[in-house]
Amino acid sequence: MGALVSADEIAKPFRDSVREAVRALGRRVTLRGILASERRASGVYAEYTAKGCADVGIHFDLVHVGRLEVEAAVKAANDDEDVHGVIVYYPVFGGERDRTIQDEVSPEKDVEGMNARWAYLLYNDVRTVQGDKKTILPCTPLAIVKALEALAVYVPGAPPGTQVRGKTITIFNRSEVVGRPLAAMLAHDGATVYSFDIDGVLRYDGHKTKETPITRAEALASSDIIITGVPSRDFAIVKKDEVKAGSVCINFSTFKNIDDDVIERARAFLPRVGPITVAMLLRNTLRLFENFHSGPLTGP
Amino acid sequence: MGALVSADEIAKPFRDSVREAVRALGRRVTLRGILASERRASGVYAEYTAKGCADVGIHFDLVHVGRLEVEAAVKAANDDEDVHGVIVYYPVFGGERDRTIQDEVSPEKDVEGMNARWAYLLYNDVRTVQGDKKTILPCTPLAIVKALEALAVYVPGAPPGTQVRGKTITIFNRSEVVGRPLAAMLAHDGATVYSFDIDGVLRYDGHKTKETPITRAEALASSDIIITGVPSRDFAIVKKDEVKAGSVCINFSTFKNIDDDVIERARAFLPRVGPITVAMLLRNTLRLFENFHSGPLTGP
C-alpha cells in the first residue's frame, strides 16, 4: 500500500524557507497582483496568493482592473521600483491575446516564469543568467519537480542532466503553461518523457523530441512517474491496473484524473499540487528580489 | 467612380528602394526561411518570399524541416552570423504553441516583427531603439499603413501622432498578427479606430482602448478608411451602400470581404495587400541588417 501525499506538507518547508529569508532581508518585498478575470478560478488563485504572502511576510498588493486596463497595469507595475514581482491572473481574454500580456511583464518581475525570455532559456536548458543567477521557472512545473524531490525520485544535488536519469515519465498535458515546459525540464534532467495530448504522443529525451507510436497502456505500464493535468471530465481516469507497481502518481488538474485506489499499486499518490505551486510563486518572488531588486536602497 | 488600386503598384517603389540599398551595400544579405507547415498557404508565402528576394538581391535560404525540428532550426538561424533575417512560416502547430516559436526568433533577426520585444515596443508606442534605430513593425500592418500613404490618407512626414489625425477607421479583424497591432499603430498616429471581431467592438483613440456600443452600420457610415481581414466565407461582405462616400477601402483577407462595386462610392479600393506585405518583409530584412548586422566584416 502506497502513501497518499499531502501537497501542504510538501509546500511547508519551502514556505518556511521563504519566510526566514524575507525576515532576514529586513526589506519590504512586494508582489503586485493584477486581477481582471471574472472566472472564479482566477479569483481563488488570487486569494491563495494573498494567504501565502501573508504567511511568509511578502507584501501582496492586489489591483482589480477591467480587462482593457490590464496592460497599463502591467506597465505601471514594471515601472514601479517598489514592486518586485508581478502576477497577472489568467485568463484575461484567453488564447494568444493573453500570451501578449504574459510577454509584457518584465522578465525581472515575472514571478510566473511565463515570459518569452524565461521560456527561451528553459527550452534551451540555460539555467543561469548574468553569471550565477538562477533562472525563473514556471510555478506549476517547478512545484512538480519539487514534489518529485520530496518523493525521492529526483535528486536535487546531482549534476544537471542526471537528477532523474533512468526514469520513465508519462505526462498527460502538453500545454504551454505546464505540460510542455515540465516535459522539457524533466528530459533535460535525464528522464525519458512520454507527453500525451489530443494532438498525439511525443517522446522527450535529453534535448530531443520525437513522435512515437507508444500507446497509453504501454507508457503507463513502463512509467516510474505518472503526471496528469487534463482539464476535462471526459479524460479516461488512470486506473490502478494501468500503473506500474511502485510508481509515483501526481495529478495537477483540478479534475480528478487518477483513481484514488492507485495507491494500492503505486508507491505514492499526490492528488493535487496547488499549495506547492503557491509556495513556488512565493519562492520566485523572493528570487526575483534577490537577483534583480536587492541593490542598495536609494533616495533620501 | 473611385479607383481599383493595384497592390503590385504600391509595392513597386519599396522593392526598388530595397534593391538599390542592397546593391549599394555590396554585402550578401541573407534571409533564412523555415518551412514546416503542410498548409498550402504557407508554402505559397514561401514562394512569394523567394520571388521577392530574387527580385531585390536578398539571398533567400529556405530550409524544410519537420515541425518538431522548427525550434532547433530557429536557434541555428539565431546563432548563425551569416543569417541576418529569419522567417518561420506559420502555422506550425497553431495557437499558443506557435507564439512560443515566434518569441524564440531573435528580435535582431525577426523580419516579421512578431517577437514579444517588438510587440511590446509597438503597443507602448516606442518607435526607436538603441538611440535612433527604427523598430521593426509587423509586415501586414506596416503594408496597410504604406498603402494608406500611397492613397494619400496618411501623411508620413507629419509629426508622430498626427499622420492620420482626424480620420475615422473601421477594422474588421483583431488578431494578434494583424488587426490589433494595426489598430494600435493607427490610433497612435492620431486616428479613431473601431475594431470589430467576434468578441465585440473596441474603440482605439491615441493610447486608450475602450468598449463602445457603436454598430457596424454606424462605424462604416462614419469611416474614412475601412479595412477588412476576416478569414471566413460567413462574413457579411461590406456593401457599397454601407460605406461613406469618398472613403478608402482595403481588404487583406484571402476571402472577399468587400464588394467590388464599393468603388462606385469609395475613392479607392485595394482588394488585396499580399505583394505589399512581401515588400515590407524585404524592407524589414534590410532594416535588420542595417541596424544590427552591418558592422565591419570580421575574420581573415
Q: Where in chain B is the domain with CATH 3.40.50.720?
A: 141-275
All residues of chain A having their beta carbon less than 8 Å from the beta carbon of residue B211 are: 68
pLDDT the model gives residue A41: 82
What does chain A come to in residues? Answer: 300
Which of A106, A81, A137, A129 is CA-nearest to residue A291? Answer: A129
pLDDT the model gives residue B226: 98
Q: Say what percent of chain B tops pLDDT 90.
A: 93
Name, in order, each residue with C-beta under 8 angstroms of A126's C-beta and a sequence gap of 6 or more.
A135
Calculate the alpha carbon distances from A123 to A116, A159, A165 in Å: 10, 18, 18
Question: How many CB contacts within 8 angstroms connect chain A with chain B?
Answer: 55
Helix (H, G, I), strand (E, B) or coil at B160: coil
**Bridge partners, B128 (sequence order):** B134
pLDDT the model gives residue B299: 39
CA B157 to chain centre: 20
**Bridge partners, B190 (sequence order):** none
pLDDT the model gives residue A37: 76
Helix (H, G, I), strand (E, B) or coil at B64: strand
Q: Does the pLDDT of residue A185 top 70, yes or no? A: yes
Q: Do B104 and A123 touch (CB under 8 A)?
A: yes
pLDDT the model gives residue A296: 61
Tell me which fold the domain A141-275 belongs to.
Rossmann fold (3.40.50)
Q: Does the pLDDT of residue A299 top 50, yes or no? A: no
* CA dihedral of residues B44, B75, A136, A14 (deg, nearest 10): 100
CA atoms within 13 A on the CB side of A159: 0
pLDDT digits (tens, 9 = 90+) for A28-52: 999 999 999 777 788 999 999 999 9
pTM (predicted TM-score): 0.91
C-beta separation of A200 from A172 below 8 A: no
pLDDT digits (tens, 9 = 90+) for B123-173: 999 999 998 999 999 999 999 999 999 999 999 999 999 999 999 999 999
CA atoms within 13 A on the CB side of A166: 5
pLDDT digits (tens, 9 = 90+) for A61-93: 999 999 999 999 999 999 999 999 999 999 999
Amino acid at B199: D
pLDDT the model gives residue A42: 86
Lookup: cell for A56:
511568509
Q: Does the pLDDT of residue B300 top 90, yes or no? A: no
Q: What is the CATH number of domain B22-109?
A: 3.40.50.10860
Number of Cβ atoms within 10 Å of the Cβ of A174:
22
Give the best residue of B79, B93, B103, B115 to mutate against chain A (max A CB count within 10 A).
B103
Over chain A, what is the mean pLDDT?
95
Q: Do A100 and B123 touch (CB under 8 A)?
A: yes
Lookup: cell for A269:
499518490
* CA dihedral of residues A256, A186, A99, A212 (deg, nearest 10): -80
pLDDT the model gives residue B252: 98
Q: Do B123 and A96 touch (CB under 8 A)?
A: no
pLDDT digits (tens, 9 = 90+) for B27-80: 999 999 999 977 778 899 999 999 999 999 999 999 999 999 999 999 999 999
Write out the E strands in A138-231: 168-172, 192-197, 200-205, 208-211, 225-228
In the annotation, is B139 catalytic?
Answer: yes
Q: Is residue B59 left, alpha or beta, with left meaning phi > 0 and alpha meaning psi from -120 to 50?
A: beta
C-beta separation of B187 from B207 below 8 A: yes
Q: Where in chain A is the domain with CATH 3.40.50.10860?
A: 26-107
Segment B247-259 shows an average pLDDT of 97
Chain B, nearest residue to A69 by Cα = B209
Q: Do B123 and A97 touch (CB under 8 A)?
A: no
CA atoms within 13 A on the CB side of A113: 30
pLDDT the model gives residue A300: 38
Helix (H, G, I), strand (E, B) or coil at A61: strand
pLDDT the model gives residue B296: 61
The per-residue DSSP string of A91-144 comes to: -SS-HHHHHHHHHHS-GGGBTT--SHHHHHHHHTT--EETTTEEPP--HHHHHH
Over chain B, what is the mean pLDDT?
95
- How far does the CA of residue A208 sit from the closest CA of chain B (Å)? 9
Helix (H) / strand (E) element for B13: namely helix B7-25
* CA dihedral of residues A78, A79, A84, A88 (deg, nearest 10): -30
Q: pLDDT-based confidence at A298, cuts 50/70/90?
A: very low
Nearest residue, CB atoms, A103 vs list B97, B119, B202 = B119
Q: Where in chain B is the domain with CATH 3.40.50.10860?
A: 22-109
Q: Does the pLDDT of residue B298 top 60, yes or no? A: no
Which of A236, A98, A108, A238 is CA-nearest to residue A175? Answer: A98
Which of B117, B134, B74 is CA-nearest to residue B98? Answer: B74
Name, in order, each residue with C-beta under 8 angstroms of B299's C-beta and a sequence gap of 6 or more.
none
C-beta separation of B68 from B92 below 8 A: no
User: CA–CA separation, B86 vs B47, rounded Å?
Assistant: 15
Please state which architecture CATH assigns to domain A26-107: 3-Layer(aba) Sandwich (3.40)
User: CA–CA separation, B282 vs B65, rounded Å?
Assistant: 23
Number of H helices, E strands in chain A: 9, 13
Give the best residue of A67, A99, A198 to mutate against chain B (max B CB count within 10 A).
A99
